[in-house]
Amino acid sequence: MLSYYITDRKQFDGTETERRVRLLQTIGRAAGAGVDYIQLREKDLGIRELEKLAGEALQVIRGEGGARLLINHRTDVALAVGADGVHLTGEDIAASEARALAAKAGGRAEFLVGASCHSTEEVRLADSHGADFAVLAPIFEKAGVVEHGIGLEELRRAAQKDRSPDLRVEAGDTRRRFLVFALGGVTLARAGLCAAEGAAGIAGIRLFQRCTDLRELVRAIRSL
């Protein structure tokens, strides 16, 4: 399975400067440990601050490994700093529009577009608009959060666990299977349950930021 780290510097203690330092250190550790995707989700930052932090994060990642950096919400920032892609929420532009912006800006052909989804229907919509993958949440109920988990059965439907991969080819669609990442209350102990229901990977904030041995975590996720 793939691993997907979503950042949140506010979970670190200290001043704003100290939090940013710790965030970049964690991003470096994650990239060095082999995390596949890193989503810079510092959504409270203004465009200039986000662009600066994204540039710094990209430098750290490139120096550590092959992780792909996606910028939350801002396609323009992702293109400006040369990130690998953008991650869109339900309130953002469609994936097809993000791709059009990337093409207009002379962006790389492999520019990635991810989408936040909360149901099978939203996953299908993201797929139809040309997103590369969806992050489906919340799978499980999280401690201290009122929001209830949508459950493993919804994950199975969204990931098309029971659908033959040949059906799309017969219909003239030669793309690879649409990837669905499981997010929300997913621990390493629960990751296997998500894998069994067809999840392509595990996404998380605390799962990665609070981990003392990221290499072992990534190894364990990959082995599922």
DSSP state letter for 10: G
Q: What pLDDT shows up at residue 66?
A: 84
Task: Write the CATH number of the domain with boundaries 2-222.
Answer: 3.20.20.70
R_g (Cα) of the chain, nearest Å:
17
Q: What pLDDT shows up at residue 198?
A: 97
Q: What pLDDT shows up at residue 5?
A: 98
Q: What pLDDT shows up at residue 170?
A: 47
Spatial separation of the C-alpha atoms in residues 9 and 26, rounded to whole Å: 10
Spatial separation of the C-alpha atoms in residues 139 and 118, rounded to whole Å: 9
Q: What pLDDT shows up at residue 97?
A: 95
* Residues lower than pLDDT 70 in the chain: 107-109, 142-147, 162-176
By CB atoms closer than 10 A (0-12, 13-18, 19+), residue 31 is buried
